[in-house]
Structure 1
């Protein structure tokens, strides 16, 4: 890898977040692992993003695979409130 390539990797949060998500869903290549490792070494924001993303994915996975939550429904009162808010916004936009 040339120095110019390393500099591009080190300052590319968009690519790093893509690789973080890709890594959680499937495997990434050795080059991608290296690029991500280089970026994460210098970017605290992406390291935090990686931790938060992993936690969110774990919570969603647990929620979807938990037998006690097999049937999820919105509360009828909540649905009525949402419907009323939508209608109110639609009426406001007409005026």
Structure 2
């Protein structure tokens, strides 16, 4: 299919000793990458332990090329609501 990059998340080590792997298409062959980043995209993947949709577990999360986790839409909304509350504004009154 010619997919440029693909990632494998294997938390129970069914396929290998590694929990996560990234492969890049190089000259028609997929080669394992040393880092969990997607080259020129400026994105990467990281392991994160926490709660998502009510389930606490180890998750695969998007990060930037420096390894800083990117927030989900809900996490961004929660941070904004907390900031508004700090300023004395009730987010529920905004619309």
Question: Larger Cα Rg: Structure 1 or Structure 2?
Answer: 1
TM-score between both structures, scaled by the size of structure 1: 0.27
TM-score between both structures, scaled by the size of structure 2: 0.27
Q: Which has the higher contact order (CA 8 A, sep 6+)?
A: 1
